[in-house]
Structure 1
Amino acid sequence: MSKIYIIHENSEWTIHLTKRLEELNLPYEEWFLDEGIVDLTQAPPEGIFYNRMSASSHTRGHRFAPELTEAVLAWLERHGRKVFNGSRALRLEVSKVNQYMALNAHGIRTPKTIAAVGKKQIVEAAKQLGCPSFITKHNRAGKGLGVQLFHSIETLQQYVESGAFEDSVDGITLVQEYIQAPEPFITRCEFVGGKFVYAVRVDTSQGFELCPADACQIGDLFCPVGETTTRPKFEIIEGFADPIIEKYEQFLRANDIHIAGIEFIRDRNGDIFTYDVNTNTNYNSEAETRAGTFGMLEIAKFFGEELKQLAETAR
């Protein structure tokens, strides 16, 4: 019997999905790819495959999980299996450089960014950027990894030469212009089946750890504005509509991405800057309960329909 196969390396991020699959009585199997083998002489099982590999896998001791997943996806795609968030999505998940280039190709504006390898080159990149305030971040990131705010070249120089400096796991550091928002929040747009589901307002006043998953609690990494608020950190925006949604959907179709969360920030002039694409997106349960809409349920329903179509085609 065909199943829904979930490819991942973090069970804390899949439990909400498997619960929904069980509620809908849908068959599934988890492929936990922290390590393993890929027998290229054999054909994969029948079914549909959902890739949820994370760019932050190395922070959980799974350094080569993305590379193993890349091999598995190549194997699945070679045999014509239906893969959601396949090899192209993984390539964008593990590289913000690839994300930005793909976004720009669809007319989606990203912050000015220079990629650098080496401490001296990071400082040189900041000089070339020419912005009074700028941030650094890891190219292969997730969870706000490596995000630091600087207001001078001198403080950056001190940072990269100190013991506090942390290099990206792929060696690439991004130096990026700092987008000053009039209020301390960003917007995250969620998509299932390549279609917009909802937008969530995310408070950044207590730091830039923006993963909405309930399990994500790693403290304050970056405060872009420095204000405080009593509002919930995650709030689903009722009736959100903006022309950017159409561009995002076109971008997702062109890059064979079916499920994603895309984050943007507005500057003081109201201009949108898109800075992150999450192809293993998570959802905040409290925000969803208040709004009465549930991302993992929508994903489960989507896969249920896809599994039904696969079965009808096989008849």
Structure 2
Amino acid sequence: MSTPRVYVIHENPEWFPPLAAAFQAEGVPVEEILLTEGQIDLAAEPEPGVYWSRMSASSHTRGHEHSKEYTRAVLGWLERADRQVVGGSHVLELEVSKVAQHGLLQQAGFDVPRTTAVFGTTTLQQAARNFTDGQDVPFITKHNQGGKGLGVRRFDSLAEFDAYVDSPEFEAPVDGITLLQEFLTAREPFITRLEFVGGEFVYAVRVDTSAGSFELCPADACEVPQTIAGAVCDVPGTETAGAPPAFSVRTEVTAAHPLVQQLRTFLADQHVTIAGVEFMETTDGRTVVYDINTNTNYNPAVEDAAPASGPRSIARYLGGLLDATYATGTAATAPAGAAAHA
């Protein structure tokens, strides 16, 4: 058996350098488990350590369409061996299913977008008619297993939607589930992403959407030109010239904010200790929660301005769990009130 350490389970090496630097800065030993290929000796005991899964719902867009299944197998093996797992099997299922997220958020009393899940494509056009009561009103589509704005498009008429479904441009969801969702008009052209680590609030990110992209990933590796149709925030007269930075700290949203407190309780109930949760404030006074990202990434510009660091908070949290479990003597400690298992 090797020296206990933090093992990071993932499939995208491009996202790892900021995390590796944070673990090094905090003095926490870390090792990657890259689930693009490999093997498990099912008769063997997993190495001692804390295992953190940050498998992404968008892994199939990088040619890793089987990584979700690999992760399910590895997490089951680890959990049966009673290893400490952060972002375990239940959390993985939330990451790869917006239907599951929507249901749990709605059950917990959050305002969520009106949504219909459509299985397959043969009934998709009729489902859109049912969803809009046959009226030409704006609505959007999403992929159930999403991330990176996958399958997110705005439609202003049923004829437009019919033409899209019948065209070569139609994006088939990887799991066969397309979501039809009400189009929300934001009060201002941004959404907000709340970052949590160890079950505690870290900071809020203002994500500018005036350019009309559904690509909201904050990582440097995601900052590429987008050609996704539609807009998250439909604000008439919005100009892109002189627009604010795409990602910035929203300092007025603190741990005392009622939604932050409500989400903190919700995440604890769901055993999710590391996540970014997105919400929108609409023109009709709603505060709508619509996405949970359990493999959250961090934007360098936000990190430079934020009161705390997301990656450093993760390294301290996981280092604290490692020390509590194995008495490794790392300098890191888990945040007060942080759950031991996720």
TM-score by length of 2: 0.88
C-alpha distance in 1 between matches for 2:307 and 2:122: 50
C-alpha distance in 2 between matches for 1:91 and 1:135: 23
Give the gaps of 5 or more residues in structure 2: 330-342
C-alpha distance in 2 between matches for 1:276 and 1:125: 22
C-alpha distance in 2 between matches for 1:99 and 1:125: 21
Instruction: List aligned pairs for 1:1-315, cutoff 5 A.
Output: 1-130=3-132, 132-206=137-211, 207-218=213-224, 219-221=226-228, 222-224=230-232, 225=234, 227-229=238-240, 230-241=243-254, 242-312=257-327
Query: What secondary structure is seen at the aligned counterpart in 1 of 2:101?
Result: helix
Percent of aligned pairs with the same residue?
A: 46
- TM superposition shift of 1:174: 0.3
Q: Please tell me the residue identity of whatever aligns with 2:191.
A: I
Q: Please tell me the residue identity of whatever aligns with 2:168.
A: G
- Say how many residue pairs are matched: 314
- TM superposition shift of 1:305: 1.1
Of 220-229 and 99-108, deviating more is 220-229
Of 11-20 and 213-222, deviating more is 213-222
C-alpha distance in 2 between matches for 1:65 and 1:100: 23
Instruction: Give structure 1 regions of 4+ aligned residues with deviation exceeding 4 angstroms.
Output: none
Q: In 2, are the aligned partners of 1:209 and 1:220 still within 8 Å (CA)?
A: no
Q: CA RMSD in A?
A: 1.6
- TM superposition shift of 1:217: 2.7
C-alpha distance in 2 between matches for 1:114 and 1:263: 20
C-alpha distance in 2 between matches for 1:213 and 1:165: 27
Of 244-253 and 63-72, deviating more is 244-253
Instruction: String of CA shifts for 1:30-78, please: whole Å, max 9, x gaps.
Output: 0000122222211111100110100000010000101110110011111
- TM superposition shift of 1:228: 3.1
Q: Please tell me the residue identity of whatever aligns with 1:133.
A: P
Partner of 2:337: none
Q: In 2, are the aligned partners of 1:5 and 1:31 still within 8 Å (CA)?
A: yes
Q: In 2, are the aligned partners of 1:264 and 1:275 still within 8 Å (CA)?
A: yes
Of 219-228 and 181-190, deviating more is 219-228
Of 118-127 and 132-141, deviating more is 118-127
C-alpha distance in 2 between matches for 1:118 and 1:211: 27
Q: Please tell me the residue identity of whatever aligns with 2:198.
A: G
Q: In 2, are the aligned partners of 1:138 and 1:146 still within 8 Å (CA)?
A: yes
C-alpha distance in 2 between matches for 1:41 and 1:311: 23
Q: In 1, are the aligned partners of 2:207 and 2:247 still within 8 Å (CA)?
A: yes
Query: What secondary structure is seen at the aligned counterpart in 2 of 1:215?
Result: helix
